[in-house]
Amino acid sequence: MPFLFQTPRLILRPFAPEDAPYLFELNNDPEVIKYTGDPPFESQQAALEFILQYDQYQRYGMGRWTVLGKATGEY
């Protein structure tokens, strides 16, 4: 997967389709969307569609990242 970064504790990478359930959960947390300004996703399918249409990496060379705990793989 392109743009993979690692720290001693974390893995950072672009969104992937398998992130949809986790992104759905995050984007339905009022404490998260307070900072992103995004509306909550209506479903995991809506989260998947967001991921598949997310073009910020190509358009601007940067974008939001998936952050995983290296030891646990936790999203």
pTM of the model: 0.83
pLDDT tens for residues 32-70? 999 988 899 999 999 999 999 999 988 998 889 999 999
Print the SS3 string covering the chain. CCCCEECCCEEEECCCHHHHHHHHHHCCCHHHHHHHCCCCCCCHHHHHHHHHHCCHHHHHCCCCCEEEECCCCCC
